[in-house]
Amino acid sequence: MNKIALISLISILSCSPALHAGGMGDQLNTISGFAALEGGYSFNSIDNYNYTLIGVNNALTSTKSSEHYAVRLAGGMMFMMDEQFAMTSELGWGYYGRTTLDPAFTGFGNLTIESSINGFDALLGIAFVQPSYSLSLKAGALIQNVRTETTVSTTALAFPLVDTFTLKSNQTGVLPEIKLGASYNFDNNWSITGAYMYALGTTQQTNGSLDVNTLRATLNSNTRNPTLNTVLLGIQYTC
């Protein structure tokens, strides 16, 4: 909530008359503020886990299901450098969906991993401004939070001392980000926006093997923050 309040405060301050340096109809060297609400589709690079069980000719693998919806609140400023080009900055906070990995083999128990992603980003770029539309390119960083809940349920034969184990964790990483945007002005202050956001991370993936005869195992796990691809549509108010 503190992040949302910060974005709202910046948007309000950017609408203050004290920030508008132009006068007498001159639109050059002026600062305008904007606030935007966006929603859309987000795809992450969290991949399935795969454990090979040697000796029983089977594997413990996962099936992936995702909620791809994304919601983002943003606020920023635009500084006109000439009649067509402007410098623009933006702060935003968004929710980027949830991914669940469920087991496809339950001979030794169940392993369910559920991850939800949100993040706070800061962007700076340039905009091409026309009376009815604008185009923008921004770059910056996303502070990405991945909240993960891992639940292991075992059979009594496999692990007689433990029935259920649950682990909740939160992992934060800073990812480079770019945002391509466009807007259509249907009013002096209101516009419809569309954007593509890309945050460069890695592919989260876990692979391993277990020999049930010798109980020797290997494990290779990458838990670093995942890549995000997000398409957004929204509405923006500019003052």
Q: How far apart are the C-alpha atoms of 122 and 179, rounded to whole Å?
A: 11
Give me the domains of the chain, ranges plus CATH numbers. 2-16+35-238 (2.40.160)
Tokens of 123: 């962007």
What would the pLDDT profile of 166-221 be if each residue is shown by its tens digit? Answer: 889 999 999 999 999 999 999 989 999 999 999 999 999 888 887 777 778 888 88
| Residue of 87, 90, 86, 79 whose CA lies nearest to 22 | 79
At residue 198, φ and ψ (nearest 5 deg) are -135, 120
Tokens of 46: 């969290």
Q: Is 214 exposed, middle or buried (0-12, 13-18, 19+ CB in 10 A)?
A: exposed
Higher local confidence (pLDDT), 3 or 114: 114
| Residue of 49, 47, 48 whose CA lies nearest to 208 | 49
pLDDT value for 29: 66
pLDDT value for 107: 60
pLDDT value for 12: 44
Q: Is the pLDDT of residue 42 over 80?
A: yes
Taking the CA atoms of 44, 149, 106 and 202 in sequence, report the sign of the dihedral they define: positive
Position 62 confidence tier, pLDDT thresholds 50, 70, 90: confident
Q: Is the pLDDT of residue 234 over 50?
A: yes
Are 179 and 200 in contact by the 8 Å Cβ rule? The answer is: no
Q: What is the pTM of this model?
A: 0.81
Distances (CA, A) of 167 to 13, 45, 125, 153, 173: 42, 21, 40, 12, 19
